[in-house]
Structure 1
Amino acid sequence: MVGITPAVPVAFSTLGLPERRRVELWESHNAKALIGLRCRTLTAAVLEATEINVQLERVHLARVRGNSHVVERDETLIRRRPADSVALFFSLVGEAFFYHDDGVRTVQPGEMLMCDADRPFMRGFSHGLEELVLKIPRAVFADVTGIDQVARPTVVSFTAGANSVARALAREIGAATRSEDPRPADEAALLQLVAAIAGADRDALSTAHRAAAQTYIDQHLANPALSAPQVAAAVGISPRHLSRVFAEAGTTVPKYVLSRRLEAARTLLEKPAPAMMTIADVAHYCGFTSAAHFSNAFRSHFGERATDVRRRALVSRALPPG
């Protein structure tokens, strides 16, 4: 698929490392894989932190988890290891403080912080954290948003009912950086969402709205009552505008929903875990109310029957390795 970058997530963890070297090795990893930071724990507790990194063609994604600690990026470190990037931090778990020359902000779970990574800052996580990170080279950020400099940090909510575009961006990053079954990231769509959040490129709104709608649909495929008005309300646009947004991509909301349900069903049929699920179970799980309709749609879409896919998967698992 055009725009999809098949990057492989790379995980790093301090768990199992020598306790006295954990901070040092964590700093070393971040300097190479994300953003150079100085780190220290808030108490005598040993640093327990993990990071999943995904490097796309131009941008970098990460999922970070850790216990209580503080990170700092001062002028000396910035001169030694310039990031030349804009960073977006999406807080999932744990309240964080952000100290910057513009003041002090408290970032709650469900809020995104956007800042210039080469302006000194300190971030603290007194109760631990889980967050998603998007690092964008400054030149790329300027190209897609028209903004040359992020002069002040910006906080945007991505909770349900808040900024639907920011919520879609968080979901896309989260799907690409999860430890199990990560979904390949569409870098172009990510950058369009960033442009829409920055408010600098109004032409990107249609793409951003479509990406937000697609993300919502993917999260609610199992709901057989999923409808275009429901999706439009979640994204914050009218059903008519939602139809126009999908028409620009050469499809409709019902066609997209059907396609995604069929793809989800095929994935289930090919996996070992759901082998005990009947074809009807798979259909129901993916939001189909009729097993007959599912079977007909599956054959029309893929050119083979769902039972053929299931049988082939079972035979493949039964064959001895090698």
Structure 2
Amino acid sequence: MKLWQAHNSETLMGLHCRALTDARFDGATVNVELARTLFSRVHANTAHVIERRPELITRQPEDAVVLFFVLAGEAFYYSSDGVRILRRGQFVVCDCDRPFMRGFSRHFQELSLKIHRHALFDQTGLMRIQAPRFAEFGGHQNPLANRLVDLIDAATHTDGPRLPDEDTLVRLVERLLGDDDGVDAPRHLAAARRYVEDHLNDPSLSAQKVASAVGISPRHLSRVFASVGTSVPQHVLDRRLTTATAMLRRPEAASMTIAEIAKRCGFTSITHFSRSFSQRFGERASDVRRRATQQRALASSTVSVHRRDMFVDSAIAAESRHNGAIADRS
């Protein structure tokens, strides 16, 4: 077992391994390493467990993502996100630098693909895999995963291996992970919008800052916003203009200059603010403030008249009651 642990720690990632029986461990691997990827074929006839512990991650970070494709037997995958059982025709994508545990039945076989994070980031914009992703392959489902399995299988055959084009592998992983954009995009979009909302008054707010806060690349962030028909700069501008409009309608705006309001909303140029405001709302910011002031004055006047009328009505009613009482005594 110590040899198995040492071999996997050297070739794949730092792992702690232990057998579930006292029997002599029986297993083998074939590994092929290219510039940005490592793919492996593994079979083990002894039930065992491997762990990627926090201390191992600290001591031996991998800065990579790995895909495990189960060919035979069963395996469990356990992490802080829960536990899943994987059988033939299923695979998991996980971050090598997030703790996990995997357990394997006897007569287990799988293929794996490890890809360096910088290659993944360059292609997908993903800096990390926040939670393991599970899916199926084989037959007519998931042709991208099937193609990856075929390439890894051909490269790890001991009899006449055929090395794949690494760019092809990376693009396949990009597209495979891209299939989950529909799941991740709403979460990334919500996080980006929250960050923008909290930093609207920061004149240095940029797509780079938002992307760093969310944990994805600016390019990927652009794709996320494009999926809802806008861009990061346009969203920031829209939110600043909307916030400025709300401020202009408040009573305290009467004692502020338009430049002060623009600055509080993150604008550094009053010219840019005025032009953008007019284009968006079809009127000047000063017009919005003046109309709001007039509406408040009208509302206040209406309330005053209403109160005066109520006072007059009350006085008339009181006098009527008083005169009625005098008539009754007479």
In the superposition, the TM-score normalised over structure 2's length comes to 0.53
Q: Which residue of 2 aligns with 1:89?
A: 68
Shift of 1:201: 11
Q: Which residue of 2 aligns with 1:188?
A: 167
Partner Cα distance (2:166, 2:128) in 1: 21
Letter in 1 for 2:73: G
Find 1:34's aligned residue among 4, 9, 12. Answer: 12
1:160 pairs with 2:169: no
Q: Which residue of 2 aligns with 1:70?
A: 49
Q: Which residue of 2 aligns with 1:137?
A: 116
**Structure 1 runs not aligned, ≥5 long:** 1-22, 203-322
**Structure 2 runs not aligned, ≥5 long:** 182-330
User: CA contact under 8 A between 1:145 and 1:200: conserved in structure 2?
Assistant: no
Shift of 1:127: 2.6
User: CA contact under 8 A between 1:157 and 1:163: conserved in structure 2?
Assistant: yes
CA RMSD, Structure 1 to Structure 2 (Å): 1.5
Q: Looking at CA atoms only, which structure, 1 or 2, has the larger radius of gyration?
A: 2
Moved over 2 A (4+): none
1:178 pairs with 2:161: no
Q: Which residue of 2 aligns with 1:24?
A: 2
User: CA contact under 8 A between 1:156 and 1:166: conserved in structure 2?
Assistant: no
Find 2:32's aligned residue among 48, 54, 63. Answer: 54
User: CA contact under 8 A between 1:144 and 1:201: conserved in structure 2?
Assistant: no
1:235-272 per-residue CA deviation (whole Å, 9 max, x = no partner) reads: xxxxxxxxxxxxxxxxxxxxxxxxxxxxxxxxxxxxxx
Letter in 1 for 2:39: L
Letter in 2 for 1:34: L
Q: Which residue of 2 aligns with 1:109?
A: 88
Partner Cα distance (1:114, 1:192) in 2: 15
User: CA contact under 8 A between 2:41 and 2:112: conserved in structure 1?
Assistant: yes
Partner Cα distance (1:38, 1:128) in 2: 20
Shift of 1:69: 0.8
Partner Cα distance (1:171, 1:111) in 2: 14
Map 1:197-216 → 2, pairs under 5 A? 197-199=176-178
Partner Cα distance (2:102, 2:42) in 1: 13
Shift of 1:51: 0.7
User: CA contact under 8 A between 2:44 and 2:106: conserved in structure 1?
Assistant: no
Letter in 2 for 1:59: T
Q: Which residue of 2 aligns with 1:151?
A: 130
Partner Cα distance (2:9, 2:68) in 1: 17
Letter in 2 for 1:112: F
Letter in 1 for 2:60: R
Q: Which residue of 2 aligns with 1:44?
A: 22
Map 1:281-320 → 2, pairs under 5 A? none
In the superposition, the TM-score normalised over structure 1's length comes to 0.54
